[in-house]
Amino acid sequence: MQENRKPLLSNRQIEVLGLILIVVSVLFTLSLASYSERDELLMNHHGLIDNSMGIAGVFISYFLIKLGVGYFAWGFIPILLAWGVFVLFKIDKKILKRSTWFSFGLIFLLSILFSIDKVAETGLQYSSGFIPGGLVGGSIAYLLSDWIGVAPSIIIIITSILILISGFFRFSLTAPIRSLKNGKRVKKADLPEEMRPVKTKKEPRIKKKKIKEHKKIIDAPGDILDAIRKPLPETEQTEDPKSAPIKAIVKPRITTTPVTKNERPSKKQVFDNKPYILPSTDLLIEAPISSSYNEEELQRKATLLTETLPKYGVDGKVVRILPGPVITLYEVAPGEGVRVNKFTNLSNDIARVMAAKHVRIIAPIPGRTVVGVEIPNNDPEMIYFHSIVNSKKYRESKSLLSIAVGKTAEGIPYIFELDKMPHLLVAGTTGSGKSVCINTIIMSILYRATPEEVKFILIDPKKIELSIYKALEPYHLITSVDIDEYVITNAQNAILALRSALVEMDSRYDKLASITVRSIYEYNAKMKALNEPIMPFIVVVIDELADLMSNPATRTDIELPIQRLAQMSRAVGIHLVIATQRPSVDVITGLIRSNIPARIAFNVATRIDSRTILDTGGAEMLLGKGDMLFLPPGRPQPIRIHNAYLTLEEIEKVLSHIKRQPKNEDEFILPTAIEPEPIDEINGTGNVNGGNDALFDEAMKLVILHQQGSASLLQRRLKVGYSRAGRLIDELEEAGIVGPSNGSKAREVFAGPEYLDHLRSIENDPVDEDDE
């Protein structure tokens, strides 16, 4: 925990100091402007003084000019005025400090230079004549001229002035000489046409900014701000502010290296002697050059945040700022003895003070000793899909299912591999960016895989979100013979598709077992070695689960296949991406949540919805328009990511390119779905053809063998709910197996084990109808 040092001056005292400096500079100007040597004589004889500031002005001008640096004392006036303005308006003083030292050095050297010739003739008898550089400049000039002579002294002073100027303006003294070394430059127009250089398209140059040993320090009054720090690159670890010196590092935005066409894998598979060419990033909208951070705006918000916390009884200080494209993370070090849970209740109050839509508080940041306050930027940037696909991390990823999802809060491209998740749940309200995220996932896979490597099952009950991908049929999209559409839009076809996926899963496990491998990766490696067709990945995308789960009659038929696929399909390369805009417990059931560990939450209405998706709050504080929280498997806290934006025109261009590529003419067809057992239309409990429950025989055997007619027994042994167990008891009562209800006691069982023997004998020796 860092110690909160008390500021030397308050804000009001600093403003008063700045105003005093401005007034002093004006008074010094009046004193020097009205300086006259006659005033010095009149002051001794009590005569009329011409100086505008009277006797004080005579003393000031006499001290600066005669005893100081001569008329070069005028150089102190703009320096004093500038310091007054910078202090009064709390402007960053880094440039001013550097300029002040340069001005002092230049004034000092000029006072010596212009005094050498004078003191060489008259010495330091300044009372009999005026020395241009004053007593300070004249004394040093006298010593130099006496020791090394006038000419060498002039050479040394001029050389020092050149070194000072070149160091301040950062230019090379030998650059003009080197440019003349090669003689006159020949113009391109004077060369013959065949000797003229050919113009080549230059790749955009990536500027690299060196981090100097002395880092940029931002001066702020008191405890307003200690540092503004840009996030470190992906390979570096951020230091703890307690152990590292708090200094400001202002870096340019993290840019991605452009990918040329030659760097893209152009040949994945060959069909009819024609290579399949993956889509180029030229089809996407290129992200504009990012603007630099507004350092003054960051400092203003840090000031406001630090001053706001004590008003609500929380002692804390901003120690570091991590700017990003959409939000900025302000790290606050709590005071000694301050509990972090006090910060969590201040999100709405801080949002009001900052005039922000939402403010999210991370208390504390995992692995750190500080609390994070995420505040939206005034001018958020758009995250383009082009910049994520062009990132080094995406290019170097080995997985065919690498997803270029977007950028983190610090502006670093974020990539995850769907096959390692292995399934993904996406939830968010209307307009939060959920459908764009689905497009980003599909497009990320299309940018890496051919139709022979990845197939899609697209289920779109809304009929409009995924309809654009009909252009991929029938090679990228798969269906079964029972379904008459590639982009599935109704519940019955969705049930058939999920059941077909289950049959395909079981078939794939049989194939893996036949050649003694354990995963699709080992299977494909063996098939490639034998030059045999590989097993493609299958990505099942359901855009709106709530529409499929809304019908009670089909709810179980949707939920159970999803549950089984989520449990078993990873090893055979079948992965689920399920999206819903109604993240309630009746849609995202416990079975679904427990089997899908990777989840994405966009903006939701309430904290309860956020807990339903992520098991924690925070999604209700998101900004919308692609702002999301991503919870990977095995991570305790979600990661804030800004989803990349894709336009409809970009998707159409990529799909048109894919449609022109050569493909294998053999169409991949899912196996026929196993027909589900007919369900009773009245109660939906598994009653066959309107008769007894499908578990009636099992329930009867349990009740007779245990001689206990209770619903709790059936619940435990048959693993059914209380309502179905109660209905089974009622059916047993109608059949005469158990007696009527007896309060809280178990019902009496009328049949014994001999009744079961009688039923078995009937099954083994059925009565022939002809005998009757």
Q: DSSP alpha helices (H): ranges in 89-133?
A: 94-122
Q: What is the 3-state secondary structure (H, E, C) of 492-558?
A: HHHHHHHHHHHHHHHHHHHHHHHCCCCCHHHHHHHHHHCCCCCCCEEEEEECCHHHHHCCHHHHHHH
Residue 608 has which token pair? Answer: 């309860």
Residue tagged 């082009």 (tokens): 386
546: left (phi over 0), alpha (psi -120 to 50) or beta: alpha
Q: What is the 3-state secondary structure (H, E, C) of 124-163?
A: CCCCCCCCCCHHHHHHHHHHHHHHHCHHHHHHHHHHHHHH
Instruction: Determine the pLDDT at residue 655.
Output: 93
Q: From edge to edge, which strands make up the β-sheet containing 639-643?
A: 413-417, 402-408, 639-643, 627-631, 598-601, 424-427, 574-580, 537-542, 454-459, 487-488
Residue tagged 């301050």 (tokens): 338
258 residue type, one letter: P
686: left (phi over 0), alpha (psi -120 to 50) or beta: left
Separation CA 172–CA 83 (nearest Å):
30
Give residue-wise pLDDT tens across range 77-134.
898 888 888 888 877 777 788 888 888 888 888 888 888 877 766 666 544 445 677 8
Instruction: Determine the pLDDT at residue 176.
Output: 63
Q: Is 599 exposed, middle or buried (0-12, 13-18, 19+ CB in 10 A)?
A: buried
Sign for the pseudo-dihedral over CA of 123, 127, 132, 135: positive
Instruction: Determine the pLDDT at residue 217.
Output: 32
What one-character DSSP code corresponds to residue 681?
A: T
Kindly report the pTM of this predicted structure: 0.58
Cβ atoms of 371 and 330 within 8 Å: the answer is: no
Cβ atoms of 336 and 594 within 8 Å: the answer is: no
Q: Which residues pair with 416 in a beta bridge?
A: 403
Residue 275 has which token pair? Answer: 């290579």
Instruction: Determine the pLDDT at residue 43.
Output: 60
Separation CA 304–CA 298 (nearest Å):
10
Residue tagged 């160091």 (tokens): 167
Nearest in space to 579 (alpha carbons), one of 403, 426, 423, 435: 426
* Low-confidence residues of the chain: pLDDT under 50: 1-6, 126-129, 183-188, 190-267, 678-690, 766-772
Cα dihedral 431, 436, 438, 441, rounded to 10, equals -150
Per-residue buried b or exposed e for 130-141, using 16+ beta carbons within 10 Å of the residue's own CB: ebbbbbbbbbbb
Residue 742 has which token pair? Answer: 């007896």
726 residue type, one letter: G
Distance from the first to the final alpha carbon of the chain: 94
Residue tagged 């000793």 (tokens): 369
